[in-house]
Chain A
Amino acid sequence: MNSWIEKQRNILDFTLSCLWRRKGKNLTFVIVYTFIVFLLASVMFLTDALKHEAAFVLKDAPELVVQRTLAGRHELIPAAYIRSLSAIRGVAAVKPRLWGYYFYSSLKANYTVMVPDGFGHKEGNILIGRGIARTHDIHKGDSMWFARSDGSAANFTIAGLLPTESELISSDLILMGESDFRRLFGMPEGYATDLTLTVRNPKELTTIATKIVEILPDTRPIIRDEILRTYEAIFNWRQGIMVAILFGALLAFAILAWEKASGLSADEKKEIGILKAIGWETSDVILVRFWEGVVLSLTAFVAGVLLAYLHVFFSSAVLFEPILKGWSVLYPKFRLTPFVSIYQVTTLFFLTVIPYTVATIVPSWKAAIIDPDSQMR
């Protein structure tokens, strides 16, 4: 056993000296390899993190939202509609929602303002997302000025920052009480932005939606699944571009592996011949190549994955910004919640490290089974 371990150590030692004596070539190779893994891992991390965020967004979304429309545009909905909707069989509860957008002209930033259920803070207090806090450089206890719809100024105190669980949805969010909201936007009492419905049996959603349009023809019911589909449609289109990048990176990797697999140089072949001639077995030669492949590909893999992690979760995927910009449900500046699945990393490992290692072994094995005499001639 000891002699086996010593043999492995000796062979690993030789492998490292081999890598070192071709350091220029190997370093260039590791850089290219790392970049490919970085691209692949970035695409994987980003798409998965976005899916994760989207699932988080929709987790608490209402089953059914009813909006009023006027000339095809979204209108404020009268609170009186609640009674008509509550009367529909199968509807468990109807709640009004107050939300809107506030354009902060000095920073050219558009914020989402919402009145949450049970906002437990005093009048004049608001909760803000971390993106807003960063942009304005404000903290808990500071003040924030807004212009009301009549042009007067409104001063709010920051009662706290929103949790970071999903910065994608809370980054630009402002939460406030109902009275503050109505005063800020000049929204009359008895009106809401839209209404949310909970139903007793989700299978009846479509029937209830049909009934709503019959009873209130100026409304538009939106089922959660429809929102999900919209998200997916937008997401899949963007993902298509991502897949194109993924395909490009995989192609580059395939070329890299093929170049390695397609053969050894005359010097490398001769070296294998020498090793065999002085008493190395075919398996020893393969072991050297195996360790070489493992050291190179594992270094590139770890470096690529780490860089991709930093790129996606700390620099907001800055290299993919042109693709993400303009996505109506994503903002150019956001910070994704770090989310990495072991399954993904393992997939990437099997897509890169394993094929490359195999690609390095095969030509060496071919060279090592030939008589050393023929290899050295």
Chain B
Amino acid sequence: MLRLSNVRKIFNAGRPNEWVALDGVNLVIEPGKITALTGPSGSGKTTLLTLMGCMARPTSGRIWLDGQEMTSLPERFLTQIRRESFGFIFQQCNLIKGLTTLDNVMLPAYPTGEPFKSLRQRALQLLDLFSLTPKANAKVEWLSGGEAQRTAIARSLINDPRVIIADEPTAHLDTHLSNEFMEIVQQLNREGRTIILASHDPLVHQAEWISAVVMMRDGRVEEAG
């Protein structure tokens, strides 16, 4: 379970361009559910996702993951939690150009010290799961939008995380690919994973399989339920 208590995030604090991205957010994300964060651009959805995923620290407030307080942990432990507990699917996919699809999927597991052979095997299985086997050795810049998205999902799963965080996952996908993505999300949820999505795409946050919707505006939670 993820719990946030009075979380604030201020960018460029003390400077003329100071900006309050999150302002006193209190929130509970239930395990094994699909939670959608929604709201207009600049409402703080992405910032909230990055804080929950340990990619940044809040300016103030606290975040707990399964009862463990994360905000005061040293960087090293935070990285370990990020690697072991969270899988990220970014809006722009954020695949590393110049590397193959297979390399990109294996990348999050490199620092774990897993033997290369077994790691490669697992990565190939994931690629097969997402029908990407023929593209295993293709450079990621040659992939179509849908293929790149599925590669990003495969990458997020390589360390078998409990929580999947996806930021505007359907922003660059057409309806067909969006539906395909949502099928995958439901499948991951059926496997017991917690899913947190940030999206202002009605196709996503109004879907019947969404367990909870969190409405955000101006850095605050307007409605959660």
Contacts and interface: CB of A to CB of B under 8 A. Distances in A.
Interface centre among B53, B109, B115 (most CB of A within 10 A): B115
A275 B96 CA distance: 9
A274 B96 contact: yes
B83 A6 contact: no
A278 interface: yes
A11 interface: yes
Interface stretch (B74-82, B181-189, B194-202): B74-82
A17 B112 contact: no
Interface string A1-35: 01111110111011001100110000000000000
Given A280-B79, A374-B56, A376-B90, A11 B110 contact: yes
A277 B94 contact: yes
A190 interface: no
Chain B interface residue bracket vs A: 20 to 34
A6 B50 CA distance: 30
Given A6-B116, A277-B94, A17 B110 contact: no
Chain A interface residue bracket vs B: 20 to 34
Contacts of B115: 6
Contacts of B109: 10
Given A13-B116, A276-B79, A279-B79, A371 B56 contact: yes
What is the predominant secondary structure among interface residues of chain B facing chain A?
helix
Interface string A262-286: 0000000011001111111110100
A371 B57 contact: yes
Given A17-B99, A281-B111, A376 B79 contact: no
B55 to A, nearest CB: 4
B45 interface: no
Nearest to A370: B56
B112 to A, nearest CB: 7
B110 A280 contact: yes
B110 A281 contact: no
B108 A21 contact: no
A4 B90 contact: no
Interface string B44-57: 00010010010111
Nearest to A9: B116
A5 B115 CA distance: 9
B110 A7 contact: yes
Contacts of B192: none
Contacts of B94: 270, 274, 277, 376
A177 interface: no
A3 to B, nearest CB: 3
A109 to B, nearest CB: 59
Contact of A14 (B57, B84, B107, B155): B107
Contacts of B90: 277, 376
Interface in A92-151: none
B111 A279 contact: yes
A371 B159 CA distance: 21
14 contacts: A5-B113, A10-B109, A10-B111, A10-B116, A11-B110, A274-B94, A274-B96, A276-B55, A278-B83, A279-B80, A281-B75, A282-B79, A284-B110, A373-B56
Given A10-B111, A11-B110, A279-B83, 10 more contacts: A2-B113, A14-B110, A270-B94, A275-B96, A277-B94, A279-B79, A280-B83, A369-B75, A371-B55, A376-B94
